[in-house]
Chains A and B, each alone.
Chain A
Amino acid sequence: EPEVTQTPSHQVTQMGQEVILRCVPISNHLYFYWYRQILGQKVEFLVSFYNNEISEKSEIFDDQFSVERPDGSNFTLKIRSTKLEDSAMYFCASSYRMGGELFFGEGSRLTVL
């Protein structure tokens, strides 16, 4: 069964460092999302992406964050200069069509020291 894959599963980084989280959505999907879950808190929407541009972003998604689909298969989330409060589980999701089911990856746990 096709699935969304995310790498790395866990990354530890120092505050101020850049981090790139990678996602491979299901191959024929067109809509892409990033969510995050800080430990003990709710899963929160970060950004949606369609047709090679951001469709919508939350207030969390500030200038430190960026997304890219560099090669037609990967979908990346970059955090330019990590802060302690960026420590969270980051989930990638994709769907085939508008209104279609979201398929989530297993998540990438980011720990900022």
Chain B
Amino acid sequence: AQSVTQLDSQVPVFEEAPVELRCNYSSSVSVYLFWYVQYPNQGLQLLLKYLSGSTLVKGINGFEAEFNKSQTSFHLRKPSVHISDTAEYFCAVSDRNAGGTSYGKLTFGQGTILTVHP
């Protein structure tokens, strides 16, 4: 079984400031890791994913995340945020060793609402 904890339910930040959204996971198996973003009245959009290789992954809109296996974390960062980054962000995992459609069986965190103020 897997679980995902997003430590902050809301993160307010000023425009052009850096931001880090924290994500920790617990799993008895190896996992793939994902960050999704949901803008108001829109669906979930994939920001970035870690499948293998370099532990620092870069995604869309200037976001990046670092997989830390020892700390079971996958924190999302952006060095300088824009007003348009205001959205809800979801961290998710799936079982690396599962086959077939289980790859798409994601376990989500509870989401972090990022609000960027001018």
Cβ-defined contact, A104 with B44, below 8 A: yes
| CB of B12, distance to nearest CB on chain A (Å) | 19
Cβ-defined contact, B100 with A44, below 8 A: no
Give residues in A with beta carbon < 8 Å to B: 3-4, 31, 33, 35, 41-45, 48-50, 55-56, 91, 93, 95, 98-99, 101-107
**Contact mask for chain B residues 44-76; partner A; CB cutoff 8 A; 1 contact, 0 none:** 111001000000000000000000000000000
Cβ-defined contact, A107 with B43, below 8 A: yes
* Interface secondary structure of B, over-half rule: mixed
* Interface secondary structure of A, over-half rule: strand
Number of interface residues of B (CB under 8 A): 24
CA gap between A103 and B45 in the complex, in Å = 7
Q: Note all chain A residues with C-beta closer than 8 A to B108.
A: 42-44
Q: Note all chain B residues with C-beta closer than 8 A to A93.
A: 44, 104
In the assembled complex, B99 has its CB within 8 A of some CB on chain A: yes
Give residues in B with beta carbon < 8 Å to A: 4, 36, 41-46, 49, 90, 92, 99-111
Nearest B-chain residue to A31, judged by Cβ: B101
Cβ-defined contact, B104 with A31, below 8 A: yes
Cβ-defined contact, A102 with B46, below 8 A: yes
Task: List 12 contacting pairs A-B, 8 Å CB cutoff, sorted by A.
Answer: A31-B101, A31-B104, A33-B101, A43-B90, A43-B92, A55-B102, A56-B101, A56-B105, A102-B44, A102-B106, A104-B43, A104-B45
| 8 closest Cβ pairs, A-B complex | A48-B101, A104-B44, A104-B43, A55-B101, A43-B108, A106-B43, A99-B103, A105-B43
CA gap between A42 and B88 in the complex, in Å = 12
CA gap between A45 and B110 in the complex, in Å = 13
Of B46, B101, B109, the contact of A98 (CB 8 Å cutoff): B101
